[in-house]
Amino acid sequence: MAVDTSGFVPKGNLNTDSGALSASGRKHTIKRIWEFLKSYRPKIFASLCLALVSVLLTLLVPIKIGNAIDLIGTGSSGMYGDLLIAALFAIGVCISQFAMNIINNSITYHTVKDIRNRAIEKLQTLPLSYIDSHPHGDIVSRIVADADQFTDGLLMGFTQAFTGIMTIAGTLMFMLSMNVVITVVVVFVTPLSIFIARFISKHTYDMFKIQGIERGNQTAVIDEMIKNEKTVKAFCMEKDALGRFDEINERLTASSLRAIFFSSLTNPCTRFVNAVCYALVALSGAYFAMGKGGFAAGAITVGTLTVFLSYANQYTKPFNEISSVISELQNSLACAAKVFEILEEESETPQKEDKITDCRGDVAVENVDFSYDPSVELIKGLRILVKSGQRVAIVGPTGCGKTTIINLLMRFYDTDSGRITVDKKDIRDVTRKSLRRSYGMVLQETWLKYGTIMDNLLMARPDATKEEVINAAKLSHAHGFIRRLEKGYDTVIGEEGEELSAGQKQLLCITRVMLNLPPMLILDEATSSIDTRTEMKIQSAFETLMKGRTSFIVAHRLSTTVNADLILVMQKGRIIEMGDHLSLIRKGGFYKSLYMAGMGGDEADGS
């Protein structure tokens, strides 16, 4: 946005990256999460209970089947009993897993919904200083991606880790109760696969990094060439562009091949370790099952051997899950901290209940001090007195603080000391809503939301009729170009209105004000991107609009200042001259030199 934040240093530790949570920060975050989950605690408890049930039953099913295998062919009716129990257990697993999944989904989805809703409500109350000084992409990714990561990673990770630990403990217990030696074989061989997986991922990390760099290089070329394709075409440099692209493409392909191949060795390798483990279990189990010689002491049945084989197959799974969960948990804690940072950010000072009604438009700025950064002085002892219906022009070179005054008038920022009054009421004593409704504003930086042209214009007055909108558009000379668009007023414009030129966007913003007709006006370089002839036409519409309305005009072309009742000439945040056009010209100061230079034709430097 068009805010002068020169020399502004963002406070807070928003930019410290993830992963680096301090111990106290982590504690604080966990505490916050626990509070946040208050209403979900019964559900979480239920989920854990179900996880426990499902783990126990999952482990018991192979045992029952093993028992049945031992009795197979003996004609014992006990086999059918075992099978029946196994089937019931399997159904139990199915039901408890399904119920757990549903409960987990409900917790996750609702938590992320709550967090996002709270965040968006928070955004409405955050001071502009926060929004101006933090990259929007970062805030968006906190509310969208981090919130997701947090709920997904944390809640799912938590239940997964819980299930994993229970499975490992349960498996160990059952195995030990059956045969110690085979258990030892499983316990020592299985984790090998995890080490191998770790080893591979560690060594392929660098390859992926190289791939990432090459991919970044290629995206940069794609981005540059496609964004500027018109220039590429104008110079017939397609071959050249393709040559640059191919060179990187070759490197990217080679690095991708390396990274993909080496990382894809993980599965075959772990499968191999599992196969070795399986073979060892089969070997030792078979000798125990024969029950001869040294193996007689721990003799087992064939059924038990099948139980061991089935456990050996499944034993690595919880290990893999837990090891991936640990890093995920750390990551989601960091994400949670990032989300909570926004939620905990201080809101704007609470507003008082008084309202501005039937605004006349007397504005007084009394002894105001203000700066974005306490160490860089900006506005000091500012006094302005504006009577109802007067026109105030603010002029000065780029970065002199013109926009700052607008920020203060609209109460986007609060003054450090002194006060601003509208109709003799301190603007801090009235609701922000009633203050802002009294102003209509057009900014140099135009903003349009995703939607049709009509949607965008109706923002100013949601209840306006189509005729009123079209009339307003005619007044602002936007009607002509809107009509020429593919679907006229129903043309959908993308985010930020990329399809429209800067001038057209500005015309739309002017139309909004024409539709709204507020008691006071703020025009912050409202016509900077519009050609002079159209501007002249709009100017006459503005003249009508400004009649009887207190208006603040930040002017980029000094020709607009001539008719102002009061001109504020600013330099480095201070008002250095004040008066009407004639008196300032006669004075022969900074204004006069600005005015004369402006007539020389460098109006393009107004930004």
Partner 1 sequence: MHELVKYLNDYKKECVLSPLLKMLEAVFELTVPLVIARMIDKGIKAGDGTIITVSFVTLIFLGIVGLCVSATAQYFAAKAATGFSAGLRHDLFEHILSFGFAEIDRLGTSTLITRMTADVNALQNGVNMFLRLFLRSPFIVAGAMIMAFTIDVKSAFIFVGVIAALAVVIYFVMTINIPLLKRVQSKLDEITRLVRENLSGVRVIRAFTLEEDSVARFIDANSHLTSMMQRSGKISALLNPLTYVIVNISIVFLIAAGDYQIRAGILTTGAVVALYNYMSQILLELIKFANLIVTLNRSVASAQRVNEIFDVSCSMTGDPSHPDIINASDVPEVEFRNVSLRYHENADDAISGISFKIEKGSSFGIIGGTGAGKSSVAHLIPRFYDATEGEVLVGGINVKDIDLSALRKHVGIVMQKAVLFEGTIRDNMLIASPGATDEEIMEALETAVCSEVVREKGGLDAHVEASGKNFSGGQRQRLAIARVLCAKPSVLILDDSSSALDFLTDKKLRENITGLSYHPTVIIISQRTASVEGCDSIMVLDDGKCSAIGPHAKLLETCGVYKEIYLSLYRKEED
Give the three-class secondary structure for 41. Answer: helix
Tokens representing residue 110 in the block: 């609702």
Length of the chain counted residue by residue? 607
Query: Whole-angstrom Cα distance, residue 526 to residue 13?
Result: 36
CA 280 to chain centroid: 51
Q: How many whole angstroms separate alpha carbon 566 and alpha carbon 126?
A: 33
- Return the closest-CA partner of residue 347 out of 125, 23, 108: 125
Q: Which stretch binds partner 1 (CB under 8 A): 357-365, 367-375, 388-396, 442-450?
A: 442-450
Q: Is residue 228 near partner 1 by the rule CB under 8 A?
A: yes
- Selected from 6, 177, 231, 417, the binder of partner 1 by CB under 8 A is 231
Contact 520, 361 (CB under 8 A): yes
- How many residues bind to partner 1 according to rule CB under 8 A? 149
Based on CB atoms, which residue is closest to partner 1, 28 or 244? 244
343 part of the interface to partner 1, by CB under 8 A:
no
Q: Could you say whether residue 6 binds partner 1 (CB under 8 A)?
A: no
Task: Give me the DSSP letters along 248-302.
Answer: HHHHHHHHHHHHHHHHTTHHHHHHHHHHHHHHHHHHHHHHHHHT-GGGGGG---H
Q: Of 483, 484, 476, 521, whose CA–CA distance to 503 is shortest? A: 476
The DSSP-derived string for 531-599 is: -HHHHHHHHHHHHHHHTTSEEEEE-SSGGGGTT-SEEEEEETTEEEEEE-HHHHHHHTSHHHHHHHHHH
d(CA 402, CA 55): 67
* 92: three-class secondary structure by DSSP: helix
Q: Which residues ranging from 571 to 600 are in contact with partner 1 (CB under 8 A)?
A: 599-600
Residue 402 CB, nearest approach to partner 1 (Å): 15
- Of 20, 213, 242, 385, the one binding partner 1 (CB under 8 A) is 242
Stretch that binds partner 1, among 12-20, 95-103, 149-157, 169-177 (CB under 8 A): 95-103
We find the least distance from the C-beta atom of residue 367 to partner 1, in angstroms, to be 25
Residue 358 Cβ vs partner 1, minimum distance, rounded to whole Å: 17
Q: Rule CB under 8 A: say whether 430 interacts with partner 1.
A: no
Smallest gap, in angstroms, from Cβ of residue 97 to partner 1?
A: 4
Judged by CB under 8 A, the residue of 311, 372, 413, 439 near partner 1 is 439
Judged by CB under 8 A, the chain residues 344 through 403 that form the site for partner 1 are none
Q: Name the burial class of residue 293, with classes exposed (0-12), middle (13-18) and buried (19+) by CB atoms within 10 angstroms of its CB.
A: exposed
Does the protein bind partner 1 through residue 517 (CB under 8 A)? no
Stretch binding partner 1 (CB under 8 A), from 28-36, 179-187, 235-243, 468-476:
235-243
Is 562 among the residues that bind partner 1 (CB under 8 A)?
yes
Which residue number, 521 or 575, has a Cβ lying nearer to partner 1?
521
Q: Which of 49, 269, 492, 585 binds partner 1 (CB under 8 A)?
A: 269
What distance in Å separates the CA atoms of residue 172 and residue 33, rounded to the nearest whole number?
A: 33
* DSSP 8-state symbol, 144: I
Q: Are strands 451-452 and 492-493 parallel, antiparallel or unpaired?
A: antiparallel
Site map (CB under 8 A) of partner 1, residues 43-82, x = contact: ------------------x---x--xx--xx-x---xx--
CB of 23 to partner 1, least distance (A): 31
Rg (CA), the chain: 36
Sole binder of partner 1 in the list 26, 432, 574, 592 (CB under 8 A): 432
Amino acid of residue 64: K
- Give, for 435, the enclosing helix (H) or strand (E): helix 432-437
Comparing CB distances to partner 1, the nearer of 20 and 140 is 140
The CA angle 416-421-423, to the nearest 5 degrees, is 170
Told to check if 315 binds partner 1 by CB under 8 A, we report no
Q: In a 10 Å sphere around its CB, with 0-12 CB exposed, 13-18 middle and 19+ buried, how is residue 485 labelled?
A: middle
Q: Which of residues 113-132 bind partner 1 (CB under 8 A)?
A: 113, 116-117, 119-121, 123-124, 128, 131
Q: Tell me which of 268, 294, 350, 588 binds partner 1, using CB under 8 A.
A: 268
Of the candidate spans 156-164, 271-279, 413-421, 569-577, the one that interacts with partner 1 by CB under 8 A turns out to be 271-279
Rounded least distance, CB 252 to partner 1, Å:
7
Give the count of alpha carbons within 13 A of 480, CB side only. 9
487 contacts partner 1 (rule: CB under 8 A): yes
Decide if residue 460 touches partner 1 (CB under 8 A): yes
Contact by Cβ (8 Å): 507, 537: no
**Three-class secondary structure of residue 16 per DSSP:** coil
- Residue 21 or 469 having the CB closest to partner 1: 469
Name the DSSP class of 419: E
**What is the smallest separation between the CB atom of 411 and partner 1, expressed in angstroms?**
9
Q: How far apart are the first and last CA of the chain?
A: 12
- Asked whether position 110 contacts partner 1 by CB under 8 A, the answer is yes
Which residue of 10, 81, 503, 589 would you call a contact of partner 1, by CB under 8 A? 503
Q: Which stretch binds partner 1 (CB under 8 A): 44-52, 104-112, 332-340, 467-475?
A: 104-112
Identify residues 144-163 at the interface with partner 1 (CB under 8 A).
Answer: 144
Q: Is 9 near partner 1 (CB under 8 A)?
A: no
Which one of residues 187, 210, 232, 578 is an interface residue with partner 1 (CB under 8 A)? 232
Among 90, 172, 492, 585, binds partner 1 (CB under 8 A): 90
Is the distance from CB of 607 to CB of 528 less than 8 angstroms? yes
Residue 526 interacts with partner 1 (CB under 8 A): yes or no: no
Of 34, 45, 98, 195, the one binding partner 1 by CB under 8 A: 98
Kindly state whether residue 531 participates in binding partner 1, applying the rule CB under 8 A: yes
Indicate the pairing of strand 439-442 with strand 451-452. unpaired
Stretch that binds partner 1, among 152-160, 225-233, 366-374, 583-591 (CB under 8 A): 225-233
Q: Contact between 233 and partner 1 (CB under 8 A)?
A: yes
Residues β-bridged to residue 434:
none
Select from 196, 265, 464, 541 the one that contacts partner 1 (CB under 8 A).
265
Q: How far apart are CA 425 and CA 353, in angstroms?
A: 12
- Residue from 14, 48, 53, 83 touching partner 1 (CB under 8 A): that is 83
Using the rule CB under 8 A, is 240 a contact of partner 1? yes
Enumerate residues 204-223 that contact partner 1 by CB under 8 A: 215, 218-220, 222-223
